[in-house]
Amino acid sequence: MATTEDIARVEYRKSGVPLAEVSLNEDRLAAEVAKNTQFTVVSQSIRSGSTVARGTVVDVTVTTTSRLPVGVIAVAPSKWQDIEIGRIAAQVRGKPKILQLMAEKDTFDKVDGREREEIVSFLAESELMVGEDELASAYSALRSAHLLSD
């Protein structure tokens, strides 16, 4: 029987946004990682929020992220492929309403009409406009860029 000393539960947040798995373009990531020297965790063998026994081995993959292109995020809009993650992350960090929205809504389908307009306005101000058909992927890429950033 496990005791509280034997079990740990960890939930990571970044600026209030719960960390989540980010789908990556593995080929592009591998090509970009070779160029970097500062590192951030980009994947781990145990999901955030999982309960594990003390002493459990966790495999961690690290890289620098701020200078990686957004194209390493699998769902990134086509227009954003070569924009640095750090640029987008800095713009997100500069907008507390967007951060709060991402903390509360992990996917675009949970966003209401007013929140959708805030996102569209943010994208316009940030010169990151996308077509109507790419709003969901843009939201996911914004959230992912924030979560991945150094």
Ordered by start, the domain boundaries in the chain are 7-148
| Structure token pair of residue 84 | 């640095």
Residues 6+ apart with CB under 8 A from 134: 77, 78
CA torsion 137-139-143-146 (nearest 10°) is 100
Compute the distance between CA of residue 146 and CA of residue 85 in angstroms, rounded to an integer.
8
The pLDDT, as a whole number, for residue 25 is 85
Task: Point out the residues of the chain with pLDDT beneath 50.
Answer: 1-3
The pLDDT, as a whole number, for residue 1 is 47
What single-letter amino acid sits at 77? P
